Chain A
Amino acid sequence: MTDAHSTSSRPPVRDWANDWDHLDPRWQADPYAIWDELRASCPVAHTDRFLGAYLPTRYADVKAIAYDTAHFSSRRVIVREHRPEQASPAPPITSDPPRHKALKQVLLPPFTPDEIARIEPKARRICNQLIDDFIADGGCDAAQRYSRHIPVRVIAAMLGVPEEDGDLYIRWIHEILELGITDDDLLWKAVGEMTAYFSAEIDKRRGAPRYDLITRVMEARIDGEPIRDDLALGMLRLLLIAGIDTTWSAIGASLWHLARTPSDAQRLITEPELMPTAIEEFLRAYAPVTMAREVMEDTEVNGCPFKAGQMVLLSFPAANRDPAMFARADEVLIDRKINPHAAFGLGIHRCVGSNLARMEMTVAIEEWLRRIPEFRPDPGLPITWSEGTVRGPRSLPLIFAAA
């Protein structure tokens, strides 16, 4: 197991309020129970692991921290074992005001709902090609053979890089978001490889611009100036990292839910008008993305103290399960009408790719249900989940009638 080296050597957690660890096997297996316990007993937990970090689990606290960009900086957005010696800015996610806004606005126009709607037919084609490859087998690992490939192929096309390099992108992301939490060498090796890759892609476009995101970032001007090279490369790395694991996880978790809850799958087939509320509910209940902030100055949030220099694990997934905010928060209700969830973040860092992610999730679930209306988990094979910052199934063996 490639992930084992980070978890097996860690002291097990006995006291989640004072010694939490999001790499603990219990967190990987079922974080929801941990967050529910903490919300009731100690809503801002702390750990001395990771050089000191807080874990708020109430919606109100997560929101207050996300909004307070003066005390809680995005210059570090991942809780790691060591403080990185070098900075590797990846705007806009690692940017704070006032510079954040202009950098973000470079990326936003190609991600509006109208622009994303133009890519939908391509996403549908990708889903059907993937299904063609396994539908005769009567079963497949849906995380490895389906959900994983959809976001890779779509973002590769938008960036203007080869889809065939998808395995490479997935390896880099795994090394940065999962293994890199504890292994600095692997982290910097992956960052270096990605940077070299995008530098080469930029060179190819000099004097030969294309209609793609790489060209867009190259040609962008902020106050009349091009974006500094290291920031432009960081932005491109972010576009690749941010869109793949996240959407892979969201599609996988939705399929996992439907495989275990056939009544919901049947309802979506007979009442397709429920698809939008179902997608928002999967996003709320199985929100895949947890980011982090660095405390810049001693402060308090709703009465709880935060000390400068420590990190905060900003769990949008835990906020989404807070019963003070969501009625029947622990239940998955595909027709939930009121659902202002935080899966795409809150405040200025709202996910740039949220319209794209929603489109990909919708298309992936619609095409799967159309071609494979009945399916369930393979009782003989284990389902495994990622660890770290993005949560989703990494193997999801399903069985269905062969067609």
Chain B
Amino acid sequence: MPESTRKIHVNPDKCQGHNRCKALAPELFELDEFGNAREVGDGTVPRGLEKKAALARANCPEFAVELAGEDRR
């Protein structure tokens, strides 16, 4: 199995602070004082949290969560 390094990134121009990402994957997102999200650290998704990252992306109403480095099929 190839080593997959997935990274998430919150696009700050799109994020409106719906907070769905933080509710679904609290390990991966943090909020500023206005409730807008950014990725924790450099956005690397630790092993075991890939599913949560994908859920956070799929539930963001503004499509602000970007996910890079998914396994190629």
Contacts and interface: CB of A to CB of B under 8 A. Distances in A.
A128 interface: no
Interface residues of A, number: 22
Nearest to B22: A113
Contacts of B31: 112-114
B55 interface: yes
Nearest to A67: B62
Interface stretch (A158-166, A187-195, A337-345): A337-345
Contacts of B22: 113
Interface in B17-56: 17-20, 22-23, 31, 33-35, 55
Interface string A104-122: 0100110111100000000
Interface in A46-93: none
Contacts of B60: 340
Contacts of B16: 346-348, 350
Given A337-B55, A338-B58, A338-B59, A344 B35 contact: no
B59 A340 contact: yes
A108 B55 contact: no
A131 to B, nearest CB: 26
B18 A113 contact: no
Interface string A246-263: 000000000000000000
A209 interface: no
A354 B19 contact: yes
A109 B61 contact: no
B35 A108 contact: yes
A109 B32 CA distance: 9
Interface residues of B, number: 18
A139 B19 CA distance: 36
Given A340-B58, A342-B61, A346-B62, A113 B35 contact: yes
A355 B35 contact: yes
A97 interface: no
Contacts of B23: 113, 276
B35 to A, nearest CB: 4
Q: Which among A105, A108, A112 has the highest number of chain B CB atoms within 10 Å?
A: A112
Contacts, number: 51
B19 A341 contact: no
Interface in A341-398: 341-342, 344, 346-348, 350, 354-355
Nearest to A115: B35
Contacts of A348: 16
B25 to A, nearest CB: 12
A109 B31 CA distance: 11
A109 B34 contact: yes
B38 to A, nearest CB: 14
Contacts of A280: 20, 59
A13 to B, nearest CB: 31
A111 B55 contact: no
Nearest to B60: A340
Nearest to B62: A346
Contacts of A111: 35
A108 B18 contact: no
B46 to A, nearest CB: 21
Contacts of A354: 18-19
A324 to B, nearest CB: 15
Nearest to B24: A276
13 contacts: A108-B33, A112-B31, A112-B34, A113-B23, A280-B20, A280-B59, A337-B58, A338-B55, A342-B61, A344-B18, A348-B16, A354-B19, A355-B35
Interface of A: 105, 108-109, 111-114, 276, 280, 337-342, 344, 346-348, 350, 354-355
Given A105-B34, A350-B17, A350-B62, 9 more contacts: A108-B33, A112-B33, A112-B34, A113-B22, A114-B31, A342-B61, A346-B16, A354-B18, A355-B19
Identify the 8 closest CB pairs spanning chains A and B, nearest first: A350-B16, A108-B34, A112-B35, A340-B61, A338-B58, A109-B33, A340-B59, A108-B35
